[in-house]
Structure 1
Amino acid sequence: MLKEFKDFISRGNVVDMAVGVIIGGAFTAIVTSLNDNLISPLIGIFLGKLDLSSLTFTVGQATFKYGAFINSIINFIIVAFVVFLIVKFINKLRKNEEDSSAAPDQSISLLTEIRDLLKENNK
């Protein structure tokens, strides 16, 4: 069982996923800090309150913290936009690799042409 676990954990996908989760967690902390310390106060200037997370309303004994929800939405939009940019960049790199690998090397084209001419002359 220990060997199976070692085989499982040493697979490339699992390690890549673990690195992605760790970096994603760190990135989320950065985005949260950006939102809490820069974006929310900026929005708060226009709303008249500097701390969006303190925006609440009460119905009966229930308190609804809609300001914290707004902060979470802002965090999500920032993270989603950055992930979109990363995926777009990676897709562009992959497309460039495919385009460069799809075009045959000039020497290969010349050698193929010479081969075809030799075949025609030998017939």
Structure 2
Amino acid sequence: MFRKILVTAAMLAAFGHAYAAVDVNTANEDALRGIKGIGPAKAKAILDERAAHGPFKDPADLGKRVKGLGGHTVERLQAEGLAVGPAGAAANAQVAASAQTKGAAASADASKSNPSVAVKK
């Protein structure tokens, strides 16, 4: 029973994460810092670059313009909920939905391999 509750909580958290995308072109410092992997210095660097040169076109543009954000780092941040423009928000929702589907399949497999048995006292 505890396992079912835990799996349900994990699925709800993953589902909620799909709607928690933060658009780098509209977010303030607090919203950026809410993304795992972005601290105060990186959030300030993103905001300063956006203020100086305008919005980011795509993830590659973000990685190129902000020092310390390479391609792999930007991909990881996108997986954590960072979106770059409207297309980025749609892509993040797809990534989160596929992760949720994979999690549901894994929990279904786990419940098949470990059946529970009711014991009367």
State the TM-score, normalized to the length of structure 1. 0.34
State the TM-score, normalized to the length of structure 2. 0.35
Larger Rg: 1
Higher relative CO (Cα under 8 Å, sequence separation at least 6) belongs to: 2
Structure with the larger helix share: 1
